[in-house]
Amino acid sequence: MKIDRLVSIIMVLLDKKRIGAQQLAAMFEVSQRTIYRDVETINMAGIPIRSTPGVGGGFEIMEEYKLEKKVFSSSDLSAILMGLSSLSSMVRAEEVVQALAKVKSFIPADKAKDISLKANQLYIDLSPWLGNRNVQPYVEMVKTALQQNNLLAFDYVDRHGTKTTRTAEPYQLVLKNSHWYWQGYCHTRKDFRLFRLSRTLNLHMLEQSFIPKECPKPQFEYPDALAPLYTTITIRIHTSVMDKVLEYCTYDHFQPDGPEHYIVAFPFMENDYYYQILFGFGTECECLEPLDIRTEMKRRILAMAALY
């Protein structure tokens, strides 16, 4: 974890007068290029580190700069602890625990209570109440494969229900809208793909390693070409489902309709996914217009009723 490594490098430089890039790379089991990037990040944060070339050279904090525990303000420490604590609730990893312990060592005794109070103002828990219990173990497995550059083998079920067997090089774990994804280079498709962990089955790490490629940024946003396909429909909802509807549009789309209902201008694309969203609001939602969407809703309801 990068923040753990950055804090650790600062602490090593506090303990040692000078240390080489190769020694730091071996210590943290990363490349020398990564160490140089970390040192640049620390420099940008305002802690001047000098590099001395040649035999006996290495990195050191500039002598005229006094680095003490006060280098982190109360706000800095609160923010770091908040981030690490939230991360520890999502990713169970020894290095996160170690990073928390190291950062806490910077907290002055007289500020401990105030900093702890601020750090606990945010808590993130993405574990499901019910449902797929494989997601969290799979997060840990992908994370391990990322660190070791090991291939992953798995079965994958796409949104149409088609199951395929894949092998892929993992490159990134992604958390989007409370769902875990991982990006990898799929050997089956010969291209980068974004896999949703809840659709990943029988995941296991292979002993075979790979040489990392240049990885593109995950593509989540809809391309501009899809923008014209969006339309706005009018729905009437009960206040009991208001929080669910607010996940898809803002409050300025709501107009009161009596004491317990709202008329909502709802963003919509005519496909199964958006019809399922509307059905997810249950009997507390009625599509008022346009007529073709309302008619299609009725057709789907009748087809569903025919099953029973």
Written as tens digits, the pLDDT of the chain (308 aa) is: 466 677 778 777 766 668 888 888 888 888 888 888 888 888 877 778 888 887 778 888 776 665 454 556 666 666 666 665 555 555 555 555 566 566 665 666 666 677 666 666 655 565 555 555 667 788 889 988 988 999 999 999 887 778 899 999 999 888 776 678 899 999 999 999 989 888 899 999 999 999 998 888 776 555 454 556 778 999 999 999 998 898 888 888 999 999 999 999 999 988 888 999 999 999 999 999 999 999 999 999 999 999 99
Question: Is 60 found in the same domain as 88?
Answer: no
Please report whether residue 138 resides in a domain.
Answer: no
In-domain check, residue 136: no
CB atoms within 10 A of CB 44: 8
As a whole number of angstroms, the distance between CA 162 and CA 185 comes to: 19
- 168 and 190 fall within a common domain: yes
Are 38 and 54 members of one domain?
yes
In angstroms, the CA 184 to CA 168 distance is 6
Tell me the pTM.
0.49
Cross-strand pairs, 234 = 265, 289
- Asked, for residue 220, whether it belongs to a domain, the answer is no
Cβ burial, residue 64 (10 Å; 0-12/13-18/19+): exposed
Q: Long-range contacts made by residues 154-159, C-beta under 8 angstroms, separation at least 24?
A: 154/195, 154/200, 154/201, 154/202, 154/203, 154/204, 155/200, 155/201, 155/202, 156/195, 156/199, 156/200, 156/201, 157/199, 157/201, 158/199, 159/199
Within a domain: 141: no
Structural domain boundaries enclosing 298: 225-306
Within a domain: residue 139? no
Determine, yes or no, domain membership for 26: yes
Considering the domain architecture, whether residues 13 and 54 belong to the same structural domain is answered as yes
CATH of the domain at 50: 1.10.10.10
Nearest alpha carbon to residue 146 among 177, 168, 178: 168
The residue from 47, 67, 87 where one domain ends is 67
Number of domains making up the chain: 4
